[in-house]
Structure 1
Amino acid sequence: MTGGTVLSTVAPSADTSAGVVDVLLWVVLPYVTIAVFVLGHIWRYRYDKFGWTTRSSQLYESRLLRIGSPLFHFGILLVLMGHVGGLVIPDRWTEAVGISEHAYHVVAVSLGTFAGVCTLAGLAILIYRRRTVGPVFSATTRNDKLMYAVLTLVIVLGLSATVVANIAGGGYNYRETVSPWFRSVFYLQPDADLMVDVPILFKLHALSALLLFCVWPFTRLVHMLTAPIGYLTRPYIVYRSRDARLGTRAPRRGWEHRPG
């Protein structure tokens, strides 16, 4: 759901009811994902603190990284902001502050499509770099490959749902179905009925996002939940020469130091 609300409003019909599969997908699976996400991070921090890193490969190659990394992070930040606005904030709140449905739709779809393209382009550059640069490819783990595959799937499905529903099609208002379902999960009152009539691309995007959050704690994505706050308070690092006399007197002229 890279884009925002849409021109046409589609709400679940009155006789729509969730079956067993819908309950498993939209009630059970979200809570399993949350449990794996939380407990996985606790386990990772306790048993793999030294592996809690981005595994930077900048020393191996920097030209493509300087292009792909900012492009990806800029796009993913816009995508995250769009999802917060579309999933967390109810539509009645935006209407209460004077943002019309049409205005929200135009801004959300435009920025969402732009953000999705930027994210996908940056990710493509990073994957190309990781595959074609020998040292970077050698440092790529199986978890890295899984992360890139799932992340690409999530972005492609989200961008496809936006383009198909809001640009190529007549529009779909996921803020009346997917968004209330998303909030209902955190209210501990999950409503699977809201997801029954949701278009397939939106469903696949949501399921791929749940998969991403399941693998998140076991990949380099953990670095997104940390900040180098310790650098602000840690003591200075003091470097000392092995020769205690160096630093207390000027070195002698010549090729090597002679005893005074």
Structure 2
Amino acid sequence: MVEQRALVTGGSRGIGRAIAMALSGLGHDVTIMGRTEAALTQAIAEGVAKRGLSVDVTDEKALSQAVADSGPYHILINNAGAAESAPFHTTSLDLFRRMMAVNVESAFIATRTALPGMVKLGSGRIVNVASIAGLKGYPYVSAYCAAKHAIIGMTRALALELAKTRITVNALCPGYTDTDLIAEAANTIAKKTGIPAAKAIEHFAKTNPGGRLITPAEVTNAALWLCSEGASAITGQAITVAGGDL
């Protein structure tokens, strides 16, 4: 396999880290991006990537500059994201905007900046890590659901714009996945409600069709396929990785 340059946002932990590690294992030149310098340094020391960029992905200028300066890239994995919960009637505009900024706007900015380089290279793979929350609704996370629906819409629109090129754009929609994000969500629920965190995680697992948490490796395998030459005709798709049909 020919070495390609890849950028993974939110690449120091969870699904992003797993994808970055797998791409590195295939011999690609991988850069990861995240907020925490210490986490990036540790990830690089553990072979996850060749280099790390400490960037706040909600800062348009900083993100676009970092992508432009470190590119061009053959592969872009827009994985940076966050989830906050609140009943709709107490969801503030600030919370809504935070969800859009980190989950959608960051992918828009990174893609817009990386795309000219892909055009010059003559090919590219863009994979947006969305969620099953982008395909259906869930209570108490209306802002998060809106953001994930938005990134799937952006994926489909851009894929059509690029359909006559060798650049593909797809979205992955994992179900509840065994990452620190889920652990943090369970701990938040425990603090707010008194329900044990383990019970909250059990509820998340049962929400998936298969009744279990998805593993980062399962999401990674789907991402690697989308990045492969064999997936050159796959574009504009929102692929569910949830252990069953929603």
Q: Please, what TM-score do these two structures have when normalized by structure 2?
A: 0.27
Q: Which has more helix, going by share of residues?
A: 1
Structure having the higher Rg: 1
Asked which structure has the greater RCO (Cα within 8 Å, sep 6+), the reply is: 1
Q: Please, what TM-score do these two structures have when normalized by structure 1?
A: 0.26
